[in-house]
Structure 1
Amino acid sequence: MLAEMPSQTVCVIIAAYNGERTIARAVASALREPEVCEVVVVDDASSDGTSICAASADDGSGRLKILRHDVNRGPSAARNLALRSSRGTLVSILDADDFIVPGRFARLLAVSGWDVIADNIAFVPEPAVPGFAFHQLRDFASGDHRMSLADFIGGNIPRADVPRGELGFLKPVIRRDMLERAGIGYDETLRLGEDFILYCRILAAGGSFRLVGQCGYVAVERPHSLSGRHRTADLAALAAAHEGLLREPALSAAERRLLLQHRDHVLRKLGHRDFLDRKHEGGLAHALWNYAARPKMLFGIACDIARDKFSRRPMRTPKAEQIPRYLFG
């Protein structure tokens, strides 16, 4: 059965910080979609021309709204401001680097029975974007399925054979009334993993999350993106947010076990970052002394550092037949 929706119901939210090079492309891709009733850009105290470049993509339809923070407060606060300042019954997050595949919302809104719905993501390296065309996208089989909380958490536990393919990268469409009924918003203590925590809270509150195989979102991969840089305080805040989720009484034993596994992965990254901080402050001997009583963690940190150095080689543009790669399928 097709879902009956008004022609314009989607509010696209773009939190942007120093995104003058890409924000116009993101805004234009959202305004091209007839189901979009508003595009809300929150300039999170950028030091460049982000707001001006966003305004340059205005199509004159009156759907573009640009807000600005006086101080940088992070993507969670920016998105919450956009939520409070918008009216669309459906909400869709778009990163300032990325863009929407034409027809995306028409395809998603044709599916019924969801509080949250997401589709596949195509990852395109930044050097390959100028030559990218939508006809390059793979034509996945149609169909959708419901994703459980256990499915989602398990899909975010990194594996060595999957290059940054966690389901936390999903950019779904969310029913506003689901957020309002459950009292859920973005956790403003987080500058890392805010999407993961939000989706977990929605699923823990009983929200129905459906996945569609077709690709409707293009994520541009940059070698030094904000999502790839983790500060110690950001990782500590994410670990603390896991503790809050673990206090949810409705979690099953399997969900709790998976969440603990994901938290332990975050704690390992936190240890890695803390070790590097201590090395920077007092030298290698100082860092080693602080971890001498935790040899297992120290070994893990050494492995992570070696892996990190290997992954920092200059980004090479993959062969044409390898572009793009996909989140799933």
Structure 2
Amino acid sequence: MTAAVPTNVCIIIAAKNAADTIARAVSSALAEPEAAEVVVIDDGSTDDSAAVARAADDGSGRLNVVRFEENRGPAAARNHAIEISKSQLLGVLDADDFLFPGRLRQLLSQEGWDFIADNIAFIDAAQAANAQASIDRFAPAPRLIDLVGFIEGNISRRGVRRGEIGFLKPLMRRAFLDQHGLRYNETLRLGEDYDLYARALAKGARYKIIHSCGYAAVVRGDSLSGSHRTIDLKRLYEADRAILAGNKLSNDAEAALRRHERHIRDRYELRHFLDLKNQRGFARAISYALTHPAALPAILGGILADKTERFRPSRAPAPLALGGTGDVRYLLEALAMDQPQK
């Protein structure tokens, strides 16, 4: 017999300089009856993020706002929220995003999972206020995803619309995290979500995905998630190596992780080469390439791809390039409920 799904959820919001959006995020989380706690970690903001978050309190006693005096990164902020919360289920909400009404009820109606995520609607910032009326209704079509499928879904391909399922924002069972000693890797400022979910899947987590849409990701040109440092790429491929070294994986899972590690490492090598060129000159960059022959294919391939980008056929644009059209785009391809099933 399947154990009952606990209904006490903690929504975790890590915020840095999010005074313009944090109220909407907090209000959407507090509007969910299943949210027993909403924990906001102000991660060293230089604006009024903490005060604005507190002002969005609904008086129910569920909101807890904590401020870090210095920025420690989203992984550290989320880990602190996990430690001070008491709920059995944990969910992450980015400070510039929001939840559609009924999102938690929809997720909690499913059984048989340790992690469960729904579809994400990418919405232009100018359209966020009226987004709910524009969202399609999708059949849930629940499915479990394994480590291989998750890893493959996070290897982006040039010219293809971004669909990395590491962007998904699942609810997580605290019991599973505690059982396996899992928390966010605080050395990561890029891919910290991907890394946690990959490590959980390597430990046997049941990760269920439904195609119903309950999460709104607001697309802004100045979003912190849209930029990263070169060193962040290095730390991410090193995290892949740690998963490979610390787990007994199937041949398919090991091969998928090695592909992802190589994919991120290639991006790092190209970025590192370009950094050297811009900061220390072309001769220094060429010297690095010649003394690191293993990096040459990534460097040459990346430069060639960039030079020929405009000659390749255009494909569906990335969610980060909505361009203010008002269109709503979804992370997961799905069939609207009012469309005929094939």
Q: TM-score under structure 1 normalisation? A: 0.92
Equivalent position of 1:326 in the other structure: 331
Q: Deviations over 1:80-120 (max 9, x none)?
A: 00000000110000000100011011011111111110001
Shift of 1:158: 0.8
1:288 to 1:305, Cα distance in 2 relative to 1, 3 A:
farther
Equivalent position of 1:269 in the other structure: 267
Equivalent position of 1:88 in the other structure: 87
Shift of 1:232: 1.9
Equivalent position of 2:138 in the other structure: 140
Matched pairs, number: 325
Shift of 1:59: 0.5
Matches within 5 A, 1:1-329: 4-5=4-5, 9-130=8-129, 132-292=130-290, 294=293, 295-303=296-304, 305-306=306-307, 317=323, 319-320=325-326, 322-329=327-334
Confirm or deny: 8 A CA contact 1:3 1:111 kept in the other structure: no
Distance 1:64 1:304 in 2: 48
1:316 to 1:166, Cα distance in 2 relative to 1, 3 A:
closer
Q: Identity rate of aligned residues, in percent?
A: 44
Shift of 1:292: 3.8
Distance 2:239 2:60 in 1: 40
Confirm or deny: 8 A CA contact 2:13 2:39 kept in the other structure: yes
What SS does the aligned partner of 2:246 have?
Answer: coil
Shift of 1:143: 2.7
Distance 2:140 2:79 in 1: 33
What SS does the aligned partner of 1:324 have?
Answer: strand
1:108 to 1:316, Cα distance in 2 relative to 1, 3 A:
closer
Distance 2:113 2:179 in 1: 15
Q: TM-score under structure 2 normalisation? A: 0.88
1:318 to 1:325, Cα distance in 2 relative to 1, 3 A:
farther
Q: Deviations over 1:212-261 (max 9, x none)?
A: 11001011122232222121221111111111101134211111111111
Q: Deviations over 1:1-23 (max 9, x none)?
A: 997456x5000001111111111
What SS does the aligned partner of 2:18 have?
Answer: coil
- 78-87 vs 291-300, greater mean Cα deviation: 291-300
Distance 2:126 2:196 in 1: 31
What SS does the aligned partner of 1:51 have?
Answer: helix
Distance 1:14 1:87 in 2: 15
Shift of 1:303: 3.8
